[in-house]
Chains A and B, each alone.
Chain A
């Protein structure tokens, strides 16, 4: 079965600093997609960034970038120049044939608090 692991404890980050959130995954599928979502205290899940298993380049979207290490099965999210509004839970998720080609399987999340 597909599995997403996010084990970091809650993190405090200084405003304007970068933060890296760890995500490892387990799958036997050669084709899969990796997603990161942000969930602020208001509850909505906000899509941030996507990485495909066959993508040669690491994905980037504005201040978000994904450090994709396929052999290690890790897909860490890097947030550069943290802002107070980045305080939230961050979830790593995976989609692939093994887990059903349509739904996403989520990890338990990483808590980030940005301090001024």
Chain B
């Protein structure tokens, strides 16, 4: 088990371009989360999947953002028409499925650092 994997590690793009990030969770985990972290802040929740179903989305997730998990394994996060304010670290996490278990930690990947110029 190699843990949560994210690709790419770094992405520099020009304003207005579209970008897509990929996350491969720990194989036996069927819960997957996307977070965004800006400088000096803690991670902020964006969205959550259980298997292929997207069960929760934050108000932070504007209509320029879309996330998918088509086969319940890897996930992609796409940002369309990027803006400078989208510059942040995008973190993916996964956890095991134990219904309503408060004690199941999230296991994070190394993140994708996005810079919009």
Chain A residues packing against B (C-beta within 8 Å): 4, 6, 31-33, 35, 37, 42-47, 50, 52-53, 91, 93, 95-96, 100-109
Chain A residue, CB-CB nearest to B102 = A33
Q: What does DSSP make chain A's interface, helix, strand, loop or mixed?
A: loop
Chain B residues packing against A (C-beta within 8 Å): 31, 33, 40-45, 48, 50, 55-56, 89, 91, 93, 95, 100, 102-103, 105-111, 113
Q: What are 11 A-B pairs with beta-carbon distances under 8 A? A: A44-B108, A45-B106, A46-B108, A47-B105, A50-B105, A95-B102, A102-B31, A102-B50, A102-B56, A108-B42, A109-B41
Distance between Cα atoms of A35 and B42 in the complex (Å): 13
Q: What does DSSP make chain B's interface, helix, strand, loop or mixed?
A: strand
Distance between Cα atoms of A4 and B45 in the complex (Å): 14
Across-interface contacts of A108 in B (CB, < 8 A)? 40-42
Across the interface, B42 reaches (CB within 8 A) one of A52, A102, A109, namely A109
Q: Do B105 and A35 touch across chains, with their CB atoms under 8 A apart? A: yes
Across-interface contacts of B103 in A (CB, < 8 A)? 33, 50, 52
Q: Do B56 and A106 touch across chains, with their CB atoms under 8 A apart? A: no
Would you list the 3 A-B pairs with minimal beta carbon distance, nearest first? A106-B42, A33-B102, A45-B108
How many contacting A-B pairs (Cβ < 8 A)? 66
Chain A residue, CB-CB nearest to B4 = A44
Q: Do B105 and A106 touch across chains, with their CB atoms under 8 A apart? A: no
The answer to whether residues A43 and B102 also contact, given A102-B31, A103-B56 and a CB cut-off of 8 A, is no
The answer to whether residues A91 and B43 also contact, given A43-B89, A100-B56 and a CB cut-off of 8 A, is yes
Across-interface contacts of B33 in A (CB, < 8 A)? 102-103
Q: Do B56 and A96 touch across chains, with their CB atoms under 8 A apart? A: no
Across-interface contacts of A105 in B (CB, < 8 A)? 45
